[in-house]
A = this chain, B = another copy of it.
Amino acid sequence: MKTDVLVIGGSAAGLVAAMTAKSNFPEKDVTIIRKEVKVMIPCGIPYIFGTIGTTDKNILPDAGLEKLGVNILIDEVLSVDTDAKTCKTKSGKDISYEKMIFGTGSLPFVPASIKGQELKNVYTVPKNKDYLDVIVEKMNDFKKVVVVGAGFIGVEFSDEFNKKGIDVTLVEVLPKIMGTAFDPEFSDIAEEDLKARGVKVITSTKVKEIKGDGAVSSVLLTNGTELEADAVILSIGYKPNTSLAKESGLELNEAGFIKVDRYLRTAVKDVYAAGDCAEKHDFATGKISKIMLASTACAEARVAAFNLYSLSTTNTFRGTIGIYSTCVGDKAYAVAGLTETVAKNENFEYVTSMFAGIDRHPGSLSDTSKQIVKLVVQKCSGVILGGAAYGGKSVGELINVIGFAIQSRMTLNDLLVAQIGTQPMLTASPAAYPLIKAADICKKQMRT
């Protein structure tokens, strides 16, 4: 068979690449090829285990693809001949293409050093419905679960299992939970919130061995503690899924991601890559970044699709900012751009400030939450390098306000004269809006 645009992978990057391609080049035949009959909403996976209750309510809908007329092929690409511009699939198809986009995503990563990972009831978190269905089904029998790795997924899994009444212990090798994403102040708040809800948290500690006879029965930590466990979730990290890309002759960078330029083109003619499998550079430093985020993937996918048939210098990818948000109960934590920790390590001369206010006004309104905003600002220029926020659920959009400030290279002075919309039931007061108050504090520090 023959198609104009062949997208490999059906998760966030693949979906958005295919939709954007078809939407912008409606005369082209666009095909998405994916292994899964039903695709999981990737970020929704932790919520299957508590709030949502089933994988069936966490399906990435095909309606958008179908409405546009994108072909969906449930199959697997086994090899690509980028000279002949054809590929072979598991079901025996030969597909020729005009343009190809790799959106092959990422796979769970577990260090070989963890013994006992092959035991029954030890799980990773792949984006695979059948695999997750097994955990959902067996979860009813679990009384004690150990979650290993306190990144966003580990924290979300812990909170969700806890909601189901399961005894959860979260184990993290770093001194702080979500410690690579957040500065310590925010990690500390999240840890307190998580503990207050009943999750046990052990940091600065490695897993030495997962023990059991057939099925897991306990987890032995390097500090000698042995935790009883009916199940273990290994949410340690992900690695780019790039074996097909490598075999197809695409160049990978030292971290294993497919090398791409600012148009998301690989070095091979007419082959693009986007999402977790594609190379990223940090927005502020230009360094290679290992960030894997569905939202970053979607932005990259749009750039790749826009530039398929002719390049647009105004539709390029300008570096990865990394805008993360998550929640524990009804409290939200979010970060955009550089943390203070990274700014310091990278040798920026910076000022930083933190303001704690509330997210309604007056504070007597019943759904008022504390809201904290931190800013990291380059000292000489005043350019906003990064920010973080804690508070009620609207923090999920507040971090995008900060994200837009970073992307637009707004300065502290721009922030200080910025107009914001405020309303008693919806936001902080205009006189004490934490983002602006944090900027105020930074400005004073710029003078010293």
Is the beta-carbon distance between B299 and A427 smaller than 8 angstroms?
no
Binary flags per residue of A5-42, CB closer than 8 Å to B gives 1, else 0: 00000001001100110011000000000000000010
Given A401-B404, A418-B404: A423 touches B52 (CB 8 Å cut-off): no
Residues of B within 8 A of A423 (CB): 43, 325-327, 332, 334, 396
State whether the Cβ of A438 lies closer than 8 Å to any Cβ in chain B.
Answer: no
State whether the Cβ of A165 lies closer than 8 Å to any Cβ in chain B.
Answer: no
State whether the Cβ of A410 lies closer than 8 Å to any Cβ in chain B.
Answer: yes
Is the beta-carbon distance between B431 and A16 smaller than 8 angstroms?
yes
Compute how far the CA of A425 lies from the CA of B45 in the bound complex, rounded to whole angstroms. Answer: 12
Q: Report the minimal beta-carbon distance from A178 to chain B, rounded to whole angstroms.
A: 13
Residues of B within 8 A of A312 (CB): 413
Residue of B whose beta carbon sits closest to that of A335: B421
Residue of B whose beta carbon sits closest to that of A20: B440
Residue of B whose beta carbon sits closest to that of A317: B417
Residue of B whose beta carbon sits closest to that of A429: B41
Given A410-B404, A440-B20: A325 touches B60 (CB 8 Å cut-off): no
State whether the Cβ of A297 lies closer than 8 Å to any Cβ in chain B.
Answer: yes
How many residues of chain A have a CB within 8 Å of chain B? 88
State whether the Cβ of A286 lies closer than 8 Å to any Cβ in chain B.
Answer: no
Within 8 A of B (CB), among A300-340: 302-303, 306, 312, 314-318, 320-327, 332, 334, 336
Q: Could you say which of A134-142, A188-196, A361-369 contacts chain B?
A: A361-369
Q: Report the minimal beta-carbon distance from A281 to chain B, rounded to whole angstroms.
A: 13
Is the beta-carbon distance between B23 and A413 smaller than 8 angstroms?
no
Cross-interface CB contact of A47 among B401, B405, B425, cutoff 8 Å: B425
Residues of B within 8 A of A395 (CB): 397, 426
Is the beta-carbon distance between B420 and A403 smaller than 8 angstroms?
yes
Q: Report the minimal beta-carbon distance from A246 to chain B, rounded to whole angstroms.
A: 27
Residues of B within 8 A of A440 (CB): 20, 23
State whether the Cβ of A57 lies closer than 8 Å to any Cβ in chain B.
Answer: yes
Given A295-B421, A401-B401, A423-B43: A413 touches B315 (CB 8 Å cut-off): yes
Q: Report the minimal beta-carbon distance from A263 to chain B, rounded to whole angstroms.
A: 11
Knowing that A306-B417, A397-B401 are A-B contacts, what are 12 other residue pairs whose CB atoms are under 8 Å apart, sorted by A's residue number? A12-B430, A15-B431, A23-B440, A24-B444, A43-B429, A47-B425, A327-B426, A332-B423, A334-B421, A395-B397, A403-B420, A408-B408
Across the A-B interface, give the 5 residue pairs with the lowest CB-CB distance, nearest first: A396-B426, A323-B421, A408-B408, A397-B397, A57-B364
A–B pairs, 12, beta carbons within 8 Å: A20-B440, A23-B444, A41-B361, A52-B364, A58-B364, A327-B425, A400-B401, A401-B401, A403-B419, A403-B420, A407-B414, A408-B410
